[in-house]
Amino acid sequence: MNQSPLTALAPIALAELVERAALQCRVDRKYVLAVDDVPNLLDQLGPYARVLDIDGQRAFDYESVYFDTPCLASYHCAAYRRRRRFKVRTRTYLDSAQCWLEVKISGARGLVTKHRLPYLAEDRHTVRSGRGFVDEALVRESIWPALATSPLEPVLTTNYRRSTLLLPATASRVTIDTGLSWHDGDRILRLPGIAVVETKTRSAASLVDRMLWQQGVRPVRISKYATGLAALRLDLPDVPWRRTLRRHFRASPPLVGPASIAPIRSEQEASCA
């Protein structure tokens, strides 16, 4: 992504960003844009947004490792739109080597709650040392207490480059992810031409939401874990993300290796309610 529009934005330090908009309990809206359209969005946000700046750097490399049970309980909760769903992952900020173990709970009306535990970066491919924290969070949120008896193993790794904005007027955040890639064993999917823009608010739409709506860009169903895994494993149910997969993941040949993605599945009647 062209960095000049980011350079033009007023900076905000990490401590202030967390203080003003931690938003561990929030509503997320996600959009997929062409990478070439991101500078125009940033230009429009110039008077209204501040960008996270750490030692002069405004875009940061992330790695997330997602964990699931042998029967992919987390994935299937999302695929079948269970009322309450969960994700377990480690997130590593590669520039600083800081790492967190996270449990995300999606509940009614799109509300997302995140539980976080500082974690050792060298342990990011296992939850063994943090399993007690994971179980406690899942039980506290009434998500399958019996899951405590199931192993959680690494299933998918995602990498991307993120910039984070604060909209001070509404204390809402916006993240812009580019350079997206997914790793499932020896299968790698890269989508260098798209950006995922996510708004994080307490409930009401943010300025960025309204700007994108006015341009005809609508929220999409996309999950870095579930949509990425569905793109790489065509035997999995994919109804909630089928439109996103068809339009953004399979509309043009992605960069995949060493194995190639199988042909698109035949269309079926689907409800995305």
- Give the tens place of pLDDT for each residue, 19-60: 887 766 778 899 999 999 999 999 999 999 999 999 999 999
Residue 168 lies in a domain: yes
What domain count does the chain have? 1
Residue 3 lies in a domain: no
What is the structure's pLDDT at 110? 64
Residue 4 lies in a domain: no
**Pairing mode of beta strands 98-106, 10-12:** unpaired
The one-letter amino acid code at 145 reads P
Would you call 254 helix, strand, or coil by DSSP? coil
Report the CATH number that the domain containing residue 236 is assigned in CATH. Answer: 2.40.320.10
Smallest CA-to-CA distance from 87 within 184, 225, 242 is with 225
Share of the chain above pLDDT 90, in %: 70
Residue 106 lies in a domain: yes
- Higher pLDDT pick, 2 / 147: 147
120-155 pLDDT, tens digit each: 999 999 999 999 999 999 888 887 665 767 899 999
**Residue 75 pLDDT greater than 90, yes or no:** yes
**Domain region containing 64:** 9-14+25-257
What is the structure's pLDDT at 107? 73
What is the structure's pLDDT at 72? 96
**Residue 3 pLDDT greater than 80, yes or no:** no
Residue 71 CA to residue 101 CA, distance in Å, equals 21
Residue 271 lies in a domain: no
CA gyration radius for the chain? 18
Residue 234 lies in a domain: yes
Mean pLDDT of the chain: 87
The alpha carbon of residue 21 and the mean position of all alpha carbons in its chain are separated, in whole angstroms, by 17
Residue 178 lies in a domain: yes
Contact between 233 and 215 under an 8 Å Cβ cutoff? The reply is no
- The number of beta carbons lying within 10 Å of the beta carbon of residue 186 is 8
Q: What is the mean pLDDT of residues 188-198?
A: 96
Residue 72 lies in a domain: yes
What is the structure's pLDDT at 27? 84
**Residue 264 pLDDT greater than 70, yes or no:** no
**Residue 67 pLDDT greater than 60, yes or no:** yes
**Residue 99 pLDDT greater than 50, yes or no:** yes
**Residue 238 pLDDT greater than 80, yes or no:** yes
